[in-house]
Amino acid sequence: MARAARLGGRASKLSLVQAELAAEALRAVGIETEFVPVSTQGDRDQTSSLRTIGGQGVFVRAVESALLDGEIDVAVHSAKDVPPTIAEGTVLAAYLPRGDVRDALVSRDQVGLLDLPHGAKVGTGSRRRAAQLLRLRSDLQVIDIRGNVDTRLRKVERGEYHAVVVAAAGLQRLGRAPSELLPIDLIMPSPGQGALVIQCRSEDADRVAAANHQASAQAVSAERAMLRALGAGCSLPLAALGGMRGGEVLLAGRLLSADGSERIEVQRSASDPEVVGAEVAEALLERGGRRLMEEDTGL
């Protein structure tokens, strides 16, 4: 790796803030960086649903390609955007200290979720958020929305939506205030939410790993292991949250039907994040998740 490592990431306002956080973490372990913006399909196409253009991984693939092609040396991602399986020849070498894991509601009248008017239009691009919102408020019109955080907030200001739900960490990193921070027991986060991760080529892993925050890495690794164990065929709303308890990783996983009417939740702990992730996934399937998946895909 060159002395001034080329740090790749998306070119949005939030991504630039996240790149600076990654640069600070790398600088602290002796790696100077220069930022290289990478355009992704997810950024170029602001109208199509994420599900139709490849899911959350659509924000990562172009950055991974730049990494493998030698155009950049390291990449920073929101961990929730990284698919369960990453490109061969690369590693997720360092997690930064995790930010707020919660979801945040931003409403037109600065009211909370339960105080939104009957039939309110709430924007989110996440099936996970949609299902949990509908479980709490079946009267809501939950509408798919695309665009960066500022774009979504402007749509609320213009009256296109009564409210939007976004990741609290991203909102906070942009210096924006929520109308309400949604409790985790009501709206459990996406695997990896609130965390930033630095990806690099395998040969550079040892040097970059010096910036790793172990507790965040253990928790998010367990959440990602659960995601992998459930398999690529699982398109159901899925939530997870890991944490450390003593020397063990504690992981909660939640699987819902698309309309939120059914919810399965499991909690397990183990010393190995891969083990606890697989255990939670298996328990979710055994408790009804397999049936929900079959119904969702029409098998």
Residue 185 annotated as catalytic: no
Give how far the C-alpha of residue 109 lies from the chain's centroid of Cα atoms, to the nearest Å: 27
Residue of 43, 73, 81, 204 with catalytic role: 81
Catalytic residues: 81
